[in-house]
Chain A
Amino acid sequence: EDQVTQSPEALRLQEGESSSLNCSYTVSGLRGLFWYRQDPGKGPEFLFTLYSAGEEKEKERLKATLTKKESFLHITAPKPEDSATYLCAVQADSWGKLQFGAGTQVVVTP
């Protein structure tokens, strides 16, 4: 059975304190791994898609990496506006459903 596990569940950071979020997955035939950001009461906002082990993508203070069993989302020098829940999701088929992890809630304090 496909599984997506994110850790830690919650993370409290000081502004400027870099850290990493983990997403470990088991899926038969990974088509893509996705990172989304979700603010309270809002829909998931797309950040990155990763397709194969070794791939990296960056956007502002965020960098996502992928291995055969897990993905990391690195937050470099975070700011309070980076506070959100970060969701990881896997897709096994083209145009197929996303299977989400439970998310990591990140709070960045000034």
Chain B
Amino acid sequence: SAVISQKPSRDICQRGTSLTIQCQVDSQVTMMFWYRQQPGQSLTLIATANQGSEATYESGFVIDKFPISRPNLTFSTLTVSNMSPEDSSIYLCSAPPGGVEYNEQFFGPGTRLTVL
């Protein structure tokens, strides 16, 4: 198993500003993933964060808007840039502690973002 923590747990931000969300895993993992979950909706994958390489973004998400860092095997950050009210959502990170060959993933508790 794995324990994943996120900071901050929630934030209220003004439009046009940026917020960086941190994700920490208590063990080394090859890949980490970032998801967005809008209120009452399912999760949408934003990107895959690989250690030592550029993140891979899903359709509809771009690096300029959601830059990701992955400096080591236990940590990643997601920045939501130039925010607008449409970015209000819960942002979650996840990791498969058993390696990428496993479908069991562990999720952080999420960061609830409100943009005014």
A binds B: no
